[in-house]
Amino acid sequence: MTFAPTKPPLRVVLCAPRGFCAGVVRAIDVVERALEIYGAPVYVRHEIVHNRTVVDALKAKGVIFIEELSEAPPGPHPVIFSAHGVAKTVLEEAKTRNLFTVDATCPLVTKVHREAQAHFKRGRRIILIGHARHPEVIGTIGQLPPGAVTLVSTIEDVERLAPAGGEIAYVTQTTLSVDDTREIVAALERRFPTIHAPPVGDICYATTNRQQAVKAAARGVEAVIVVGAANSSNSLRLREVAEREGCAAQLVADVRAIDWGALEGVRSVALSAGASAPEVLVERIIEALGERFAIAIETLRTASESEAFPLPRALREAV
């Protein structure tokens, strides 16, 4: 008689909170509600959120994703701006072409835009802490005239800044590493002791909460799996947080991308997901872990979330 080999045990720690945040839920709801009201096609400039599963599901419903407004024809079908926000030049182009637009920018990103605009009106030099070429950074810089915002990504960037010739202020991208940003802010405050800080931190609650959960979990496991896209800033930061705690970590788009070799001999793993990753991707990874290991699942919760953002007025009025 032959016996099936015994599965090795694996403790699976589910990080909570994880996955969709209120801004992502709102952005997806904007697109789906627009489809209900106006019918297909609905155009979305840039990925509505950085997740291929979400994008593909919306494509199947009749959404057309574009990178430039020139790809969208004028007419009754809306053009939706993604959760990351857009520069004012994009809004002006849409108005010039008489496009029907709906803005799905996350309200927390809009908050940063307004902070930068307020500093500019007060004549302050503005420093933006963020990552070059990220859509949110492009959108924030694009709220003001060229040269009004200086981007820094590292402490070295701060050291290279010219001396202040007047009042100075900083704002930040919403999806940064809490720890890295704290160090950059400290460097700014050393160089410019009177620098104006945001009245409330710009890094969004969801980014902070997910990083705290991964940090706590990483201290008690041998490996961390983060579900998220390679171009998702908040997902990349989750992997970095785990690695900062000395834990092996991998960022995977879905179950097919898992490096199973890296889990050989591992007896404990934490599982989290970036703010734009749907929970179904986490569930599929748990199933795959269960096929290979005798898993014992537990949840590590470091915060509770109840935030919700209303739909844009254009859609509320249409309903």
181 residue type, one letter = T
Active site residue 264: no
Choosing from 47, 136, 279, 307, the catalytic residue is 136
Assign 3-class secondary structure to the chain: CCCCCCCCEEEEEEEECCCCCHHHHHHHHHHHHHHHHHCCCEEEECCCCCCHHHHHHHHHCCEEEECCHHHCCCCCCCEEECCCCCCHHHHHHHHHCCCCEEECCCHHHHHHHHHHHHHHHCCCEEEEECCCCCHHHHHHHCCCCCCCEEEECCHHHHHCCCCCCCCEEEEECCCCCHHHHHHHHHHHHHHCCCCECCCCCCCCHHHHHHHHHHHHHHCCCCEEEEECCCCCHHHHHHHHHHHHCCCEEEEECCHHHCCHHHHCCCCEEEEEECCCCCHHHHHHHHHHHHHHCEEEEEEEECCCCCCCCCCCHHHHHHC
Annotated catalytic sites, by residue? 136
